[in-house]
Each structure stands twice: as structure tokens, then as C-alpha cells.
């Protein structure tokens, strides 16, 4: 049976694809793209073969032969190439540029289905079965290393991690490169080039996650790539609008931190938030949406019929309309020294990279919502004991019933009502916590705490621009009062649409919106519904 990662195009499909590219002959072995290349091309083999070489391990990953094709999902998001591609003697290829490949995918559904399925499977293989990629060396107990590792994981960037606290190889590597622990963390690429103490922007640009896009006025700017923002991106791009989407961290938002979502329609066995976000991320780009990470919106202006957003990385983005999908962030625990332990004992998500730290160890989870429950179930498979700390006495008040039942049935999950953490202890990494439970204090030897408490909207950059409630959630539609509305021709002739803010043309979806339902399905619904309202607004002003 043919491996689904490496399918063959039919003769008829190849004939159609020829309209989007050029046929080239190679008499001798030629490197047609190399690791680190940006905007590298897509190739269909017409004669001969292409070898996909892994320079990290000096091995051949696969040999593509007649009517097979190169590439993976990174091609749709302008990420840099992860391998070398080298022809054999006497090879003929169909070369297609990335922008033309997107055109072919948009026009031919059968080709789209085959390519995207293979691309997703190849990405999964690289991330889970092949060791290599960017090498991160650092202490697993420091916040600096955790931030980089977290960004790599959430953005599905191929990497390997050497922990200087536990692996002799990591210490030997430092010695070989004449580095000290003061240089950590470091990144090493396949050419042995070293980047000391890199920031996230440098890493994002190197890997292609931070992308450049046209300097033009877009139809829609989506700010935030959680479920609501990704849904808006998919629907807007699929309906022919020019769309750019930015996010400050990674696709998925808070949902991307969920280890398993079981009540989302169409996934009866559940799906991780990261996988759901990654599929939507690729889907949006399939339709031509530009997505760039990390960009954080800093300010907003309106003039000459369009909005101008100033974002981090010195990016200025012009758009006729804006969909605010910035979501909400979990609040910090109200403990004076908590910043010392963030990334080194205090975490705001529970993902695969956290499992090794929790192996046969007790962990604490603070919060009573679905994210807390999903994290508890996920970590219970590796942790010795999981303690869920809630201030109230009813776990089901904010959590879905199916999760409550599973938590109560798990032998190593313990629910502590009327309990909160009041102190943190540890010299360089969290070693213990002090809790107050039922009016009594006691210490617990716990070095990993996962916090999922209270949502604070990521809307401070819009302060005094749009009407919000006292917590910063943006008023939309019927929740707006007449005195909130911007005085303009549009609002003098009609009321705001259901997802429109106090400024016409600015729409808010998902967790940042006042009165929203904090569920993935509702966020996706709002994101898709906002696009029809954008169409109405655009028809009014253009």
C-alpha cells in the first residue's frame, strides 16, 4: 500500500499543474533548495528523482520519484526549508513558485486534498519521529529557556533540546564551542552557527514564522490567531478578501494550550488544541491569508478611509476593517514573588514538553474551568498525583460535566476545595508551595504548578479607543449604549452590528468580547459570523 505521506499525482493532475510552473532539466545532481531557504519552490518529479537530505543527521529522509512531489506545510506559510533537496542524474522537474502553488490549490480541490494531507503527515513525521532541527541548549529550569522552548513547541518548529541540568552531552557541547553557562540559552543550526541568548523575534524570523507581507491596504486585519481569529481568517480569505493575521505568540490562543478538547463538534475522540490550531493555521493560508508571528498590536489610528495598526517588530499594517480576536490571558496568582518562578515551576499551559518534568512527581493545578480540567487529565498520565486547587466548593460551576466526572473517577487526581496557594519556595526553581485550605496552612513538596485562573482581556492597547466594560472586555452590538457610539455617518443611519464595536469597522470576536461564551465552538462561530458583517461594512464605505 502506498505511503500516504508520499502519494503519486495522476498524469492528468500533473498536466493541470504544468499551467502553474515551468519544466526544467538537470543533467547532473543539483541542489534545488537547501535548509534555511525562504520561499523555496515546489517540485513534481517528471523523470529521475529528488533526494530529501537531512543535514543534521547526514541521512536521506526520502527519495521522491516520478509523479511524486516535494514540500510540506511550511510552504504555505513561507517558513524556511527544513532539508536539502538534491536531484539525481538526468532528472526533469516541474517547478512551481509558492504563490502559484496556492493558486493551484485554490482552483483544484483534488490536488489540494492530496497535497495538504501529505503536507500535514510529513510535518507530523518530522516533529515526532525525526530527531534534529534547530538545537536548543539551556537549563530546563530557567525562564529564558522555557520561553524559547514554549515558542518552538506551540509553533510546530522542528527542534531538539539539550538540558544542561540533566544531559552530559549538553555540557560537552558547551565545552566544544568554548561556551559557559552564562551564554545560555543558545541555538545551534545545521551549519553549527551559534546564537547566544536569542530573543523570540530572532528565532521567529530565522524559522520563517515571522514573515514579511505586502505593503498595501488589506480588506481585513485579524488581530489574534486563537480559534476566533483563525476562523475569521479562513472565512474571510476563502471569500476572496485580502487578509493579514497577526498574533503575539502562536496559533491557538488559550485553546492551543489544551491537551485534549473532547466536546468540539466533529471530533468524537477529541483533538488537542495545538493540532486544531495548526490545521486551521494551514487552512487559512491555503486560501491566501498572510499570517505572521510574533506581532503584538501597540496602537491604532484611523484616517483616509482605513485603519493603521502599529505593531511590534516595527510593522505598520493598513486595513479597511479590523477583527479584534486578541482573547484573554490567565491572571497571575496574587503572590509577591511569582515572577521569579514563571517558566521554572509556574506555568500557564500544560503541553507535551511539560510531561518529562512531571514524571512520577506531584503537581498542582489552580483553577476550575475546562482548561484546568483538561490539563489535569493530561498530566495525570505521567504525574504521581495531581492536586486541583479551587477557591469555591463546586468544581462543576465552570467546568463541563464530562470533565468533572472523569476527574472524580481518576485515582491520582485530588480536588481540594476552598484552597489557594499563598507562598512559593525555592532558590532557582520552585521546590514547594504553601497552601491555605479550610482556614489551615500547610506546605506541599510540589515543583510544578499550572495556573488557569481568571481571564484578563488582551485589550489594553485599545484603551480609550473603543467602549469596554470595567474589566476591559469590548462592548459590541446590543451591549453598546447610544453615548458609547462614535459620531459618524454610519452610526447615524444604522445601529452597530452584533459583533461591531463602538467604532464602525472594528469587530470583536471570542474571549475579548463582553458577554462572550468561553468555549472554542462559540469563538469559531463568532469568527466566521464576523466576516459577513465585515462585508456589509465594506459595502457601505467603498
Q: What is the chain's Cα-based Rg?
A: 25
Please provide the distance, in angstroms rounded to a whole number, between the alpha carbons at the two ends of the chain. 54
Find out whether 455 and 473 touch, Cβ atoms under 8 Å: no
230 pLDDT higher than 80: yes
Residue 354 CA: distances (Å) to CA of 187, 257, 280, 345, 447: 20, 12, 24, 10, 12
Which pLDDT does position 189 carry in this prediction?
A: 80
Confidence of residue 258 (pLDDT cuts 50, 70, 90): confident
For the entire predicted model, the pTM comes to 0.88
Calpha distance 340→141 (Å, rounded)? 11
Which pLDDT does position 60 carry in this prediction?
A: 95
Q: Among 280-289, 416-425, 454-463, 499-508, whose mean pLDDT is lowest?
A: 454-463
Which pLDDT does position 313 carry in this prediction?
A: 85
User: Does residue 255 have a cis bond before it (omega within 30 degrees)?
Assistant: no
Q: What are phi and psi of 445, to 5 degrees?
A: -80, 80
Find out whether 347 and 450 touch, Cβ atoms under 8 Å: yes
Dihedral (Cα; 530, 535, 538, 540), 10-degree rounding? -110
Confidence of residue 259 (pLDDT cuts 50, 70, 90): confident
Using DSSP's 3-state secondary structure scheme, residue 257 falls into: helix
Confidence of residue 445 (pLDDT cuts 50, 70, 90): very high
Q: Which helix (H) or strand (E) holds 188?
A: strand 186-188
Query: Mean pLDDT over all residues of the chain?
Result: 92
Please name every residue paired with 196 in a beta bridge, in sequence order, or none if there are none: 186
Find out whether 525 and 535 touch, Cβ atoms under 8 Å: no
> pLDDT tens across 119-172, in order?
999 999 999 999 888 899 999 888 899 999 999 999 999 999 999 988 888 888
**DSSP 8-class letter at 419:** E
Which residues have CB under 8 Å from 347's CB, separation 6+?
146, 354, 448, 449, 450, 451
> pLDDT tens across 185-221, in order?
999 887 778 889 999 988 898 788 888 888 899 999 9
Average pLDDT over residues 278-294: 93
Q: What are phi and psi of 123, to 5 degrees?
A: -60, -45
Using DSSP's 3-state secondary structure scheme, residue 528 falls into: helix
- Percentage helix, strand, coil, to 5, in the chain? 35, 25, 40
303 pLDDT higher than 90: no
Sign for the pseudo-dihedral over CA of 132, 134, 135, 136? negative
User: Please, what's the b/e burial string for 443-476 (b: 16 or more CB within 10 A of its CB; e: otherwise)?
Assistant: ebebbbbbbbbebbbbbebbeebbbbeeebbbbb
Specify the pairing of strand 306-311 against strand 315-324.
Answer: antiparallel
Q: In Å, how far from its chain's centre is CA 308?
A: 24
354 pLDDT higher than 80: no
Confidence of residue 254 (pLDDT cuts 50, 70, 90): confident
Amino acid at each position: 500500500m502506498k505511503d500516504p505521506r508520499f502519494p503519486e499525482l495522476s498524469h492528468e493532475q500533473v498536466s493541470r499543474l504544468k499551467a502553474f510552473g515551468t519544466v526544467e532539466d538537470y543533467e547532473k545532481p543539483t541542489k534545488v533548495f537547501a535548509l534555511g531557504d525562504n520561499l523555496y519552490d515546489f517540485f513534481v518529479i517528471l523523470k529521475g528523482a529528488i533526494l530529501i537530505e537531512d543535514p543534521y543527521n547526514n541521512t536521506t529522509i526520502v527519495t521522491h520519484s516520478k509523479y511524486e512531489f516535494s514540500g510540506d506545510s511550511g510552504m504555505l506559510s513561507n517558513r524556511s526549508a527544513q532539508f536539502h533537496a538534491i536531484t539525481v542524474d538526468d532528472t526533469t522537474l516541474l517547478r512551481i513558485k509558492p504563490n502559484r502553488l496556492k493558486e493551484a490549490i485554490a482552483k483544484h480541490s483534488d490536488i489540494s486534498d492530496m497535497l495538504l494531507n501529505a503536507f500535514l503527515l510529513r510535518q507530523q513525521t518530522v516533529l515526532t519521529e525525526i530527531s534534529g532541527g534547530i538545537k536548543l541548549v539551556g537549563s530546563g529550569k530557567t525562564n529564558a529557556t522555557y520561553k524559547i522552548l514554549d515558542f518552538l513547541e506551540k509553533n510546530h518548529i522542528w527542534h531538539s533540546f539539550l538540558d544542561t541540568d540533566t544531559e552530559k552531552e549538553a555540557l560537552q557541547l558547551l565545552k566544544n564551542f568554548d561556551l559557559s553557562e552564562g551564554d545560555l540559552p543558545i541555538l545551534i543550526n545545521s551549519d553549527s552557527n551559534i546564537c547566544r541568548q536569542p530573543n523570540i523575534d530572532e528565532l521567529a524570523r530565522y524559522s520563517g514564522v515571522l514573515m514579511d507581507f505586502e505593503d498595501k491596504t488589506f480588506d481585513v486585519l485579524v488581530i489574534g490567531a486563537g480559534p476566533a481569529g483563525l476562523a475569521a481568517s479562513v472565512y474571510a480569505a476563502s471569500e476572496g478578501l485580502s487578509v493579514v493575521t497577526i498574533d503575539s505568540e502562536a496559533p491557538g490562543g488559550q485553546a492551543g494550550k489544551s491537551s485534549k478538547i473532547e466536546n468540539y463538534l466533529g471530533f468524537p475522540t477529541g483533538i488537542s488544541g495545538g493540532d486544531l490550531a495548526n490545521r486551521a493555521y494551514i487552512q487559512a493560508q491555503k486560501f491566501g491569508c498572510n499570517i505572521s508571528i510574533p506581532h503584538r498590536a501597540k496602537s491604532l489610528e484611523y484616517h483616509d478611509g482605513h485603519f493603521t495598526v502599529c505593531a511590534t517588530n516595527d510593522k505598520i499594517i493598513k486595513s479597511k476593517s479590523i477583527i479584534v480576536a486578541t482573547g484573554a490571558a490567565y491572571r497571575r496568582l496574587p503572590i509577591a514573588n511569582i515572577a521569579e518562578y514563571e517558566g521554572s515551576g509556574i506555568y500557564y499551559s500544560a503541553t507535551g514538553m511539560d510531561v518529562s518534568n512531571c514524571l512520577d512527581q506531584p503537581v498542582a493545578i489552580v483553577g476550575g474551568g475546562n482548561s484546568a480540567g483538561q490539563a489535569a487529565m493530561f498530566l495525570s498520565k505521567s504525574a504521581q498525583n495531581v492536586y486541583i486547587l479551587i477557591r469555591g466548593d463546586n468544581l462543576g460551576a465552570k467546568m463541563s460535566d464530562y470533565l468533572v466526572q472523569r476527574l472524580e473517577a481518576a485515582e491520582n487526581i485530588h480536588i481540594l476545595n476552598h484552597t489557594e496557594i499563598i507562598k512559593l519556595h525555592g532558590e532557582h526553581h520552585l521546590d514547594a508551595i504553601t497552601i491555605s485550605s479550610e482556614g489551615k496552612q500547610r506546605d506541599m513538596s510540589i515543583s510544578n504548578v499550572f495556573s488557569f485562573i481568571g481571564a484578563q482581556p488582551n485589550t489594553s492597547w485599545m484603551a480609550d479607543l473603543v467602549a469596554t466594560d470595567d474589566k476591559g472586555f469590548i462592548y459590541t452590538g446590543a451591549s453598546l449604549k447610544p453615548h458609547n457610539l462614535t459620531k459618524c455617518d454610519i452610526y447615524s443611519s444604522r445601529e452597530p452590528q452584533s459583533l461591531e464595536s463602538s467604532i464602525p469597522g472594528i469587530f470583536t470576536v471570542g474571549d475579548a468580547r463582553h458577554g462572550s461564551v468561553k468555549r472554542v465552538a462559540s469563538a469559531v462561530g463568532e469568527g466566521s459570523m464576523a466576516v459577513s458583517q465585515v462585508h456589509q461594512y465594506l459595502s457601505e464605505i467603498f
